[in-house]
Amino acid sequence: MGDGQIIFDKNQGWVIPPPKEPAKSKEEFKKEREEKVRWLIGHGYLRSERIKDAMLKVPREDFIPPLYRDYAYLEVPLPLPGEKATISCPHSYPLFYEPLGLDKDHKFLEVGLGSGYGTALAREIVGLEGLVVSIEIDPLTFEFARKNLENLGYRDIILVKGDGGLGYPDVSPYDRICITAACIEIPPPLIEQLGIGGRLIAPVIEHGVQNLVLLEKSEKRIIKKVICEVLYIPLKGRYGVSEE
Ligand SMILES: C[S@@+](CC[C@H](N)C(=O)[O-])C[C@H]1O[C@@H](n2cnc3c(N)ncnc32)[C@H](O)[C@@H]1O
């Protein structure tokens, strides 16, 4: 179970390491963060300078509950307060943000705030002229993320507690939208709130597997591209996945 290794079992899915008291120092985490960025570049996940700089700057360990903190840079999603909430594994962020082309000055909407880590990365990437809005449906998870972001001084992000499938029309249209939970269909309100020339990325359940799907909206049509297979927790709410 070394750093950089993807801990995934064909039958069990993600293999979560056991909870333990945190023992690593800030320096150790910094070294692991730098190693992780080198690993992500080496494996072709990470290409753009802005995403690289954000991943070097944001301390992922500060978005993880203490009993899982030492595993911050392992390629595995880790449990968060809330029902079935997880912080996605480190490579997920460039996996989503690179094809999305998330960049300086973008107005970005995230559905599924989780720990707040992806939100902090996005805030760094879009810069001061950009805007980040993130929506979380689970109240416990929302509060956890809100505190994490506040502790690190991120106070200029719009955080919304509610159903992200409905989007947040108040500041739409968005240049980029990212859904971090698996859906059966892309919620129509999100497609409406995406601007012309905008891109949306989401795990979509198709024929029993989850595909990471990228949509690009033009005046006349929406172009869809499948990037790869992924495994995410299901979307809840009005456009959620029924688990009956
Ligand atoms: C994989 S986690 C997100 C990880 C997050 N990007 C991070 O960096 O920690 C997916 C999140 O989506 C949330 N979620 C599920 N359905 C939702 C919905 N309809 N609206 C908003 N959040 C939702 C879950 O509660 C969970 O926190």
| CATH number, position 106 | 3.40.50.150
- Phi and psi at 104, nearest 5°, equal -50, 140
Q: Is residue 153 part of a domain?
A: yes
Confidence band, pLDDT 50/70/90 cuts, at residue 6:
low
Q: Given this model, what pLDDT does residue 4 score?
A: 45
Q: Is residue 191 part of a domain?
A: yes
Q: Is the CB of 148 under 6 A from ligand 1?
A: no
Q: Which amino acid is at 65?
A: P
How much helix, strand and coil, in percent to the nearest 5, is found in the chain? 35, 25, 40
Q: Is residue 239 part of a domain?
A: no
Number of domains present in the structure of the chain = 1
Q: Is residue 2 part of a domain?
A: no
Q: Which of 92, 125, 233 has most ligand 1 atoms within 8 Å of CB, for mutation? A: 233
Residue 63 clears pLDDT 70, i.e. is over it: yes
Confidence band, pLDDT 50/70/90 cuts, at residue 15:
confident
Q: Which of 136, 143, 159 has most ligand 1 atoms within 8 Å of CB, for mutation? A: 136
Ligand 1 center to 219 CA (angstroms): 30
Residue 3 clears pLDDT 50, i.e. is over it: no
List Cβ neighbours of 182 (8 Å cut-off, separation of 6 or more): 202, 203, 204, 205, 210, 230, 232, 233, 234, 235, 241
The CA angle 5-208-89, to the nearest 5 degrees, is: 25
88 is catalytic: yes
> Which residue out of 25, 48, 88, 172 is catalytically annotated?
88
pLDDT tens by residue, 195-205? 999 999 999 99
Q: Which helix (H) or strand (E) holds 212?
A: strand 209-217
Write out the residue range of the structural domain in which residue 146 sits.
8-230
Q: Which of 235, 26, 17 is nearest to 110 (CA)?
A: 235
List Cβ neighbours of 10 (8 Å cut-off, separation of 6 or more): none
Q: Given this model, what pLDDT does residue 9 score?
A: 67
Q: Is residue 56 part of a domain?
A: yes
Mean pLDDT, rounded, of the chain: 94
Whose CA is closest to atom 27 on ligand 1? 114
Residue 125 clears pLDDT 70, i.e. is over it: yes
Q: Counting atoms of ligand 1 from 1, which one is nearest the CA of 239?
A: 19
Q: Is residue 85 part of a domain?
A: yes
233-237: average pLDDT: 96
Confidence band, pLDDT 50/70/90 cuts, at residue 110:
very high
Q: Which amino acid is at 197?
A: G
Q: Is residue 240 part of a domain?
A: no
Ligand 1 center to 164 CA (angstroms): 9
Q: Given this model, what pLDDT does residue 14 score?
A: 75
Q: Is residue 3 part of a domain?
A: no
